[in-house]
Amino acid sequence: MGSSRQLVSDEVIDDLIRTHQWPGLVVVDTRSGIGRGVTASIDFSKDSVVCNYSGTLLQGQEVSDYLKTDSPTEYCYEFRHSNQRYVINSQVDNGTIGRLFNHSAKYPNLKTRVKVVDGQPTIIFSAKEHITKGDDLLFDYGERSAGGLRPDWLDQCSCTKICNPVLTAQKRSLSDKDGPPSKKRK
């Protein structure tokens, strides 16, 4: 795919979802030492699919049972599709990348949507804007509705008022004077 990712066919995206072989992504220790994150190793044009959120798909009663566990909000993505509630549980680190995208409500450069592959709904991340090689990849965890998988730390973070650039499960934030996440990692 060269040094940039343009819009590609649904068949190519489906194959990438099945194989989990997403080019152009690098797992890194975050610049503030708060854990892992992901940066782009190629440019992504606006609306290009970057990756999917992979894990065990839960639905129906499985979702209700899962919500009763000790830590249902870590490495999980809840969504609705065709009037059904789903959770993708990615707590087990199986080497997939999407589970490592960090949160920013103020500077997200990824957006999510549901895509059905082989009859199963999944979440895909696409570029909200042009993404340049070296950019931190961030999305707004965004669960603000009652009854959803809202991480406890998100209630205390400043995203509910004025978001700071990068926030993680450890409730770590950078000050506004630092500006948006780095465009180029040093």
The domain locations on the chain are: 4-178
User: What is the rounded average pLDDT of the residues 5-16?
Assistant: 85
Domain 4-178: CATH superfamily is SET domain (2.170.270.10)
Q: What φ, ψ does residue 14 adopt, rounded to 5°?
A: -60, -45
Q: What is the mean pLDDT of residues 78-84?
A: 89
- Answer yes or no: is pLDDT of 48 > 60: yes
State the alpha helices, DSSP H only, in the chain.
10-19, 61-67, 152-156
Query: Mean of the pLDDT values across residues 51-60?
Result: 92
pLDDT category, 104, cuts 50, 70, 90?
confident
14 half-sphere exposure, CB direction, 13 A CA radius: 9
Which is more confidently placed, 107 or 121? 121
For the cut 60, the answer to whether the pLDDT of residue 166 exceeds it is no
Q: Rounded to an integer, what distance in angstroms lies between the CA atom of residue 29 and that of residue 166?
A: 13
Q: Are 154 and 91 a contacting pair, CB within 8 Å?
A: no
* Stretch among 4-13, 58-67, 146-155 having the lowest mean pLDDT: 146-155
Mention every residue, 6+ apart, whose C-beta is less than 8 A from residue 99.
53, 54, 55, 75, 90, 93
- Under a CB-based contact definition with an 8 Å cutoff, are residues 40 and 25 in contact? yes
CA-nearest of 177, 139, 141 to 38 is: 139
Q: Alpha-carbon Rg of the chain, whole angstroms?
A: 16
pLDDT of 49 > 70? The answer is: yes
Contacts of 62 (CB under 8 A, 6+ apart): 87
Query: What is the rounded CA–CA span in Å between residue 72 and residue 56?
Result: 13
Is the pLDDT confidence value at 62 over 80? yes
pLDDT tens, residue by residue, 111-142: 999 999 999 999 999 999 999 999 999 988 76
